[in-house]
């Protein structure tokens, strides 16, 4: 395992083997926050649809949905913190 990958996995609190799934879904969470600031109802629909999709994917193809939801939540957290920092600076 690459040392940086292990450090990043510990930072994001995920299994190093599933780090790719977490990282892949961070932009989805960031996009969800962007949509929230434009149209809250669409963002809510998008978020609920994403969760339902992940649950159904887990039930039908027995995929590991937790790291994908975790990545989505990390994306939301990163976007909100970034937005607050930008608002604080300006």
- Domain assignment present for 4: no
Whole-angstrom distance, CA of residue 64 vs CA of residue 33: 24
DSSP string, 28-75: HHHHHHHHHHH-HHHHHHHHHHHHHHHHHHHHHH---HHHHHHHHHHH
- Domain assignment present for 60: yes
- Domain assignment present for 52: yes
**How many domains, the chain?**
1
**pTM of the model as a whole:** 0.84
- Domain assignment present for 82: yes
pLDDT tens per residue across span 1-49? 566 778 888 888 888 888 888 999 999 999 999 999 999 999 999 999 9
**Domain interval for residue 59:** 20-89
**Coil, strand or helix at 2:** coil
């Amino acid at each position: 395992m690459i040392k940086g990958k292990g450090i990043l996995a510990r930072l994001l609190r995920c299994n190093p083997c599933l780090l790719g799934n977490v990282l892949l879904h961070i932009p989805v969470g960031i996009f969800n926050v962007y949509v929230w600031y434009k149209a809250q109802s669409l963002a809510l629909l998008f978020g609920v649809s994403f969760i339902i999709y992940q649950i159904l994917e887990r039930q039908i193809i027995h995929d590991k949905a937790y790291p994908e939801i975790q990545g989505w939540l990390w994306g939301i957290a990163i976007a909100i913190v970034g937005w607050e920092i930008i608002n604080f600076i300006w």
